[in-house]
Amino acid sequence: MSAPLLEVRDLTLGFTGRRGQPPLRILRDVNFSIARGERVGLVGESGCGKSVTGLALMRLLPATAQIGGTVTLDGADMARASAAQVRRMRGKKIAMIFQEPMSALDPVFPVGEQLGEALRLHETLPRAEEKARVVQALADVGIPAPERRYGEYPHQLSGGMRQRVMIAMALINKPDLIIADEPTTALDVTIQAQIMDLLRDLSERTGTALLFITHDLGVVAETCQRMITMYAGEIVEDAPVDDALRAPKHPYTSGLLRSLPHFNRERGQFAYIPGRVPAPNAMPRGCRFAARCPHAASACAEPQVLREIEPGRRVRCIRAEALDLDGAVERSPA
């Protein structure tokens, strides 16, 4: 088998504490890989470490961040590369679509100028050719009248248009991997569907790998080939998307799926996971989900490892084989 495009091994992340306090450990023992052209969904509650994982892969964290482990992208270790090497890779090999396009785009420059700057960082082109490439990038993401939009400012565009500009910026240098952090946040349902169709089509057409960071399990079901569940800074399940949705092996994944609306018909009550994600400075020694888990046992007080339970499927739960958990498809009554 060919080597994966991205391979993350033993990734840890902490931030320097205040007044001599120990660093806050945000990520621990994060291991996963992404193949060329693969679409992977990274899911979990807010505060579980999804977005900061994407920023760590991009090396976009502040100087107080302490990163350990390896992040190998097409043979190069992003975690150990110099700042100059990372700048050459960022945008060309790996790019990111940020959560909020209005804050990610500079309000004082036309969108065409901002896309042109992203292109100039990696190529030296005549001005006319640069503009033609930018206009074509805007057209490729479905923006009407791209020649006119080239000279417009972000505030002149709708939310959906601004998100398309962000996608065009991520794609303009034809990267091998795009990290999409909640790419449909604050968009109405119709525009959300258009954006996801666009990203899926671009991935299939260009062979670009995609890492979707999202709360929307419907997006993962319709767009991704594999689903990674993250909880409290750890990966707790990694499986083909159909397997993860139909028959999850970790209680947390099952809890997320049971929170979907179609599970909430009995007595008009909503299913939910009690409690909340533990704070970084109060992580339990054993399973980090045990305090909220209805299936916890004494063995869960010990640290759990992410292990392969069948080919292509890993889970961080000592009871995975013994549990029969609900997935996204309701089971018929016995």
**Structural domain boundaries in the chain:** 6-224, 230-315
pLDDT of residue 218: 85
Edge-to-edge strands, sheet with 65-73: 24-34, 6-15, 65-73, 76-77
Q: How confident is the model at residue 332 (pLDDT cuts 50, 70, 90)?
A: very low
Element (H, E) at 58: helix 50-58
CB 213 within 8 A of CB 42: yes
Q: If we measure between CA atoms, which residue out of 313, 317, 296 comes closest to residue 305?
A: 317
Q: In 305-327, which positions are buried (b, 16+ CB within 10 angstroms) versus exposed (e)?
A: ebeeeeeebbbbbbbbeeeebbb
- Average pLDDT across the chain, whole number: 90
Range 304-308 average pLDDT: 96
What tens digit of pLDDT does each residue of 14-30 get? Answer: 998 777 677 789 999 99
pLDDT of residue 334: 35
State yes or no: pLDDT of 135 exceeds 60.
Answer: yes
pLDDT of residue 42: 97
pTM (predicted TM-score): 0.91
pLDDT of residue 192: 79
Please, which residues bridge with residue 211 across strands? 40, 179
DSSP states of 101-124: HHHHS-TTS-HHHHHHHHHHTT--
Q: How confident is the model at residue 331 (pLDDT cuts 50, 70, 90)?
A: very low
Residues of the chain with pLDDT > 90: what percent? 66
State yes or no: pLDDT of 114 exceeds 60.
Answer: yes
State yes or no: pLDDT of 31 exceeds 60.
Answer: yes
Output phi, psi for 112, to 5 deg.
-65, -40
pLDDT of residue 264: 61
Q: How confident is the model at residue 195 (pLDDT cuts 50, 70, 90)?
A: confident
Helical packing angle, 159-171 and 127-140, nearest 10°: 120
pLDDT of residue 329: 64
What tens digit of pLDDT does each residue of 146-189 get? Answer: 999 999 999 999 888 898 899 899 989 999 999 999 887 767 77
State yes or no: pLDDT of 316 exceeds 50.
Answer: yes
State yes or no: pLDDT of 224 exceeds 60.
Answer: yes
pLDDT of residue 173: 93
User: Distance between CA atoms of 143 and 21, rounded to whole angstroms?
Assistant: 50
User: Distance between CA atoms of 174 and 172, rounded to whole angstroms?
Assistant: 6
Give the list of residues 6+ apart from residue 67 with CB closer than 8 angstroms, or none. 11, 12, 13, 56, 61, 79
Q: Greater confidence, 78 or 315?
A: 315
pLDDT of residue 178: 95
Burial class (CB in 10 A: 0-12, 13-18, 19+), 235: buried
At which residue do the structure tokens 């498809």 appear? 329
Range 24-40 average pLDDT: 94
- Provide the sign of the torsion angle of the four alpha carbons 268, 331, 215, 250, taken in this order: positive
Range 302-313 average pLDDT: 94
Which range is least confidently modeled, 48-52, 158-162, 273-277?
Answer: 158-162
From the options 3.40.50.2300, 3.40.50.300, 1.10.760.10, 3.30.200.20, give the CATH code of 6-224: 3.40.50.300
The DSSP output letter for 166 is: H
State yes or no: pLDDT of 203 exceeds 80.
Answer: yes
